[in-house]
Chain A
Amino acid sequence: MKLFVYVWKRLAMMVPVILGTTFVAFLLLRLTPVDPARAYLSVSNIIPTEETINLVRHQLGLDQPFWLQYVHWLWQLCHLNFGISFISKIPVSQELVVRLPVTATLAVLSLIIAILVSIPLGIASALHKNKFIDHCCRLLAFLGASLPQFLLAYLLIYFVSVKFDLFPLQGTETWQHFVLPSITLALGLIATYSRLLRNGLLESLEEPFVLYAKARGLGTVALMGRHVLRHAIRPVVTAAGMNLGKLFAGTVIVEQIFAMPGIGGYFLEAVYHRDYPVIQSFVLIMAIVFVLGNLIADVVQAYLDPRLTQQGTRKQVE
């Protein structure tokens, strides 16, 4: 019940955040020196003259006052209309329907892989602190954090796909197509999460409540799961919540290498051509994903530590 109130409050707080971000993005876009009308003309191989520029500006609605453009955009958005690309003239929503699921699958899958792999790694290195396994994990973490994604992707492609032909190379037809790209994205995360978890576990083991749980004769599974891991995993949850947004924004390289039609490439293109509706949609999606990622992380946190919602509702009462 408390959790329910908490989630509603957090959802309500999303609205101003999203309005704010999109507004600032709107403002910043219009302050950049490149004129989308010029960009449009040069893509279409038309020589920009005063006349043609004004014509295009009018067609794209760019001659309207700034605030009117924003209100118009919001109004369209309320009807789930993301606008039409300046360059391709294809509705943004039409592209998103195809591309968003690809990126979302990639992001969520790599996050899940990262968490599932980090938990045993973190536990192993905490239990064998400063021993062989711990050093191996540390080395792995160091490599995972410092290897650039493109290098990692090519290594995976070479060893897994070309040499042993285990997974398909490019495209998005089957779930197997998502394995290598997800692993590429997950490896850097595994590095961070397993270290976070290791340190969290070592700290938790020192908690008085763990000593007391041991003194009550709890078995290893109950002790480690219910008391130690539950407490130690909290920093990982926070990190994962923040990474969700980063993953959505950061799939471009992996998408290009594995020839996956996600949102990364689409938006990169849009930035070159000052394709306002597409950029605007990107900002909106990113804002939503970032806020949602943090919200999910906070809800999980509130489940892991009920003191958090307790304080939230207490404040409401006062």
Chain B
Amino acid sequence: MNQKEIVLDVKGLDVQVHSNQGKLQVVQDLSFQIESGKVLGIVGESGCGKSITCLAILQLLDRVQYVTQGSIRLKELELTNRTEAQLQKIRGKEISLILQNPMNAFNPALTIEKQFLETIYAHSKLSRKQAHDQAVKSLDEMNLPNPKELLKQYPFELSGGMLQRVMIALSICMKPMLLLADEPTTALDSVNRHHVVEALQIIKKQEKTAILLVSHDLNVIHELADEVAVMKKGQFVETGSVAQLFSNPKHEYTKLLLDARLTTGTRNE
């Protein structure tokens, strides 16, 4: 890639929830861009609207319950006015999602292979054999041991860390332009967290995919992200490069987050 290309361009994203307690603004006027090969990290406390943002990008928010405004462009394509059929072609192929808890994100009744193959079949006309090879290849790329055996297993036969890496492999299987990783390391211990960070690093190095990385874990953000946005109550309170934000935070809330990291950091050691 000689020229950096903007993969995701979000402008003025607003999300309102219509619940029993009335209207609630959960995401307010978010604007950001991600170039291919770059990682945008979003940090923020629980409930600040990070997952809602990811689902809004995928257009997976229920249209009755959530009212979304603003523009979401994937390269040239405006996503907000696509039909459901068009979106199905984009989800899993152009944009893929990694969820926080792999233990309940996979269907417990289907083998890993079935869930790989159904995703591949949904987006390509590959034969069973080709699809299988493709699955093995992407598991291999993520340095997972014994891909062929792995495919035969049910999700409940694997550990959480293993499953998370399988999920990452599945997410890059169709070579998406954009990867949304919603707290990919939160449910993991430090060894598995390390593996997951490595896997994401491999994807980043290939420079083909833009990554939106949502995380509580500032260490993970520090290792992976180029830019960081700090989110509070549905808004970005501060954005900047990783170096700038970690060395010279402007906003009080960012300082608070960084302080919290330092204290928990020293406590762990």
A231 sits at the interface (CB 8 A): yes
- Residues of chain A within 8 A (CB-CB) of B96 are 215-216
Q: Which of A209, A218, A307 contacts B106 (CB 8 A)?
A: A209
Known A-B contacts A212-B97, A307-B154; the reply to A218 vs B104 at CB < 8 A is no
A-B contact count (CB 8 A): 75
A208 touching B108, Cβ below 8 Å: no
Known A-B contacts A211-B60, A304-B109, A306-B109; the reply to A216 vs B101 at CB < 8 A is no
Known A-B contacts A212-B97, A212-B99, A307-B154; the reply to A218 vs B109 at CB < 8 A is no
Give 28 CB contacts A-B under 8 Å: A208-B99, A208-B101, A209-B104, A209-B105, A209-B107, A211-B60, A211-B99, A211-B105, A215-B91, A215-B92, A216-B91, A216-B97, A216-B118, A216-B119, A216-B170, A217-B88, A217-B90, A217-B91, A217-B122, A218-B92, A218-B119, A230-B109, A305-B108, A307-B108, A307-B154, A307-B156, A310-B156, A310-B157
B104 touching A208, Cβ below 8 Å: yes
Chain A nearest Cβ from B38, distance in angstroms: 22
Which chain B residues in 18-72 approach chain A with CB under 8 Å?
58, 60
Q: Which residue of A lies closest to B99 (CB)?
A: A212
- From A219-227, A254-262, A278-286, the one touching the partner chain is A219-227
Q: Which residue of A lies closest to B110 (CB)?
A: A226
- Residues of chain B within 8 A (CB-CB) of A213 are 107
Known A-B contacts A215-B92, A226-B110; the reply to A207 vs B104 at CB < 8 A is yes
B89 sits at the interface (CB 8 A): yes
B165 sits at the interface (CB 8 A): no
Q: How many residues of B contact A (CB 8 A)?
A: 29
Residues of A within 8 A of B (CB): 207-209, 211-219, 222, 226-227, 230-231, 304-307, 310
B123 sits at the interface (CB 8 A): yes
Known A-B contacts A208-B101, A218-B88; the reply to A306 vs B122 at CB < 8 A is no
Chain A nearest Cβ from B98, distance in angstroms: 9
Chain B, residues 146-160, CB within 8 Å of chain A (1/0): the string is: 000000001011000
Chain B nearest Cβ from A115, distance in angstroms: 19
Closest 9 CB pairs of A and B: A217-B92, A216-B92, A217-B91, A215-B97, A212-B105, A209-B107, A208-B104, A216-B119, A217-B88
